[in-house]
Amino acid sequence: MPEKQNELKKTLGFTVAFSTIIGIVVGSGIFFKPYAVFNATGGAPGLGMLAWLLAGLLSIAGALTASEIAGMIPKTGGMVTYLHDIFGKKVGFLAGWVESTLYQTGSTAAAAVVFGVQAASLLGFEPGAYWPKVLIAIGIIGFLAFLNNLGAKTSGWIQTVAVVCKLIPLITIVIVSFVKGTGNDVLTPLLGPDLNPAKAFSLALLAALFAFDGWMGVGMIAGEMKNPGRDLPRALILGMGTVSLIYIVMNVAYLWVMPASELMLTETPAADVSRVLFGERGGQFVSIGILVSVFGGVNGYVFTAARSTFTLAQSNRIPLSKTLQKVNKNGVPANATWYIFIVSSLFCLTGKYDLLTDLSTFMIWNFYVLTFYGVIKLRREQPDAYRPYKVPLYPFIPIIAMLGGSYVVISTIISQFPKAVVGFGIMLVGLPIYAYYENKEKKQTID
């Protein structure tokens, strides 16, 4: 097959990149993660709001830092490609392996599971019923996989429409909350009784970071952008600044209606706040808007995850590499998209939103920290290289991003050691697979 048949078409601009960031990041987290954040703080708002604020600052620092590499290395694959070019084939492979087997697929499944939870509730199923939410979750991933294979423009159109639609429940909840809400304290108390502050903050921060996560994924579509060196950094910075503002305002709005001690008890806080504000029928209408938002989030994950797997397959160091790197007549990696559907569906069978989000967020931040360090490494080794964008306040912003990310990793290992073991175990499985294909390639070269 000619090489050009496996190349992606350059059809995307700034608007799709920006809407992809908003579509992925403002997906499920802001509507469902307040439960996990305030549960971690024992129903106290202060430390929870601090976790939301710090998660936003870390994400902005990360976006500011990663944008420099995104401008220098505007290739499909995003972080996987960056780490491959900066640190070598093995590190790039491990990043791609974790993304394809755990992070992207786990995040896709997590978003689909909460879509299933919300949809099952609207359809009248018993709260927490296992099979309805799981079957709906698997069905929505399959439907979006089909739509994504129609072309990158179709995927981008879905993202743009979903971004517009998701603003409706966001704006509605914010405005009406401040008009009709009773005005609960949003800063005190700082922490619930008998809780370890360090562990509580670690758990709250990890939960909040998932709500902000996904911004790095837009780099995976760089190879399909018409002017990635200019548009990708702009989309990252403007997108994450917008998301941070939305999240802080949304959490204040929630707390204005329901105290943190009540938000910690419900897995569907946005829907519950809506019922308080609008009654049962009005709450259902807003819940439909939330479903549209989560739908866009799942689409964003499927869209970018397929590109990650496609890039990994091009290394020819995983099983079925030749199959997964094929591009269909619409110019999209169809087989990689169906791979994402299969693996994500398996993760959906857990039915556990917080388990999937905690595990995927923890593992990806290991590679985020390495990416942030990559900016410093490239500045030192390639000082005269062309940089269409440079991170401001260098080296302070990259150092802040690295320190914040290191805190997330280390505190998770301490406070949630079993999850860390599972995550690192999945990553280490990639080493013998890499070694097998590396040795196979060397033997073929010798022969």
Residue 24 confidence class, pLDDT cut points 50, 70, 90: low
Give the pLDDT score at 66: 86
Give the pLDDT score at 1: 36
Residue 169 confidence class, pLDDT cut points 50, 70, 90: confident
Residues 91-131: pLDDT tens digits?
A: 999 998 998 899 989 999 999 999 998 899 888 888 778 99
CA-to-CA dists, residue 75 to 10, 81, 128, 219, angstroms: 11, 7, 42, 8
Average pLDDT over residues 250-270: 90
395: preceding bond cis by omega (within 30 degrees): yes
Report the DSSP beta bridge partners of residue 12.
225
Give the pLDDT score at 373: 96
- Lookup: tokens for 233: 């950094």
Task: Identify which has the larger pLDDT, 40 or 233.
Answer: 40
Report whether 372 contacts 365 (CB < 8 A): no
- Lookup: tokens for 23: 């579509």
Q: Is 238 exposed, middle or buried (0-12, 13-18, 19+ CB in 10 A)?
A: middle
Q: How far apart are CA 142 and CA 345, in angstroms?
A: 9
Q: How far apart are CA 229 and CA 175, in angstroms?
A: 37
**Highest CATH level, class, for 13-446:** mainly alpha
Residue 2 confidence class, pLDDT cut points 50, 70, 90: very low
Q: What is the DSSP track for 77-146?
A: TTHHHHHHHHH-HHHHHHHHHHIIIIIHHHHHHHHHHHHHHHHHHHTTPPTT-HHHHHHHHHHHHHHHHH
189: preceding bond cis by omega (within 30 degrees): yes
Would you kindly state where each structural domain of the chain is located, as residue ranges?
A: 13-446
Indicate whether 268 pLDDT > 90.
no
- Lookup: tokens for 384: 């005269």
Residue 3 confidence class, pLDDT cut points 50, 70, 90: very low
Lowest mean pLDDT among 52-56, 315-319, 339-343, 406-410: 315-319
Helix (H, G, I), strand (E, B) or coil at 353: helix
Q: How far apart are CA 270 and CA 290, in angstroms?
A: 8
Indicate whether 63 pLDDT > 50.
yes
1 CA to centre of own chain: 34
Give the pLDDT score at 153: 74
Lowest mean pLDDT among 130-134, 137-141, 238-242, 325-329: 238-242
Lowest mean pLDDT among 144-148, 158-162, 244-248, 348-352: 158-162
Average pLDDT over residues 288-294: 84
Q: How far apart are CA 121 and CA 420, in angstroms?
A: 32
Residue 218 confidence class, pLDDT cut points 50, 70, 90: low
Average pLDDT over residues 316-324: 89
Indicate whether 300 pLDDT > 90.
no
Report whether 194 contacts 40 (CB < 8 A): no
Indicate whether 223 pLDDT > 70.
no
Give the pLDDT score at 217: 63
Give the residue among 188, 183, 181 at the shortest CA–CA distance from 44.
188
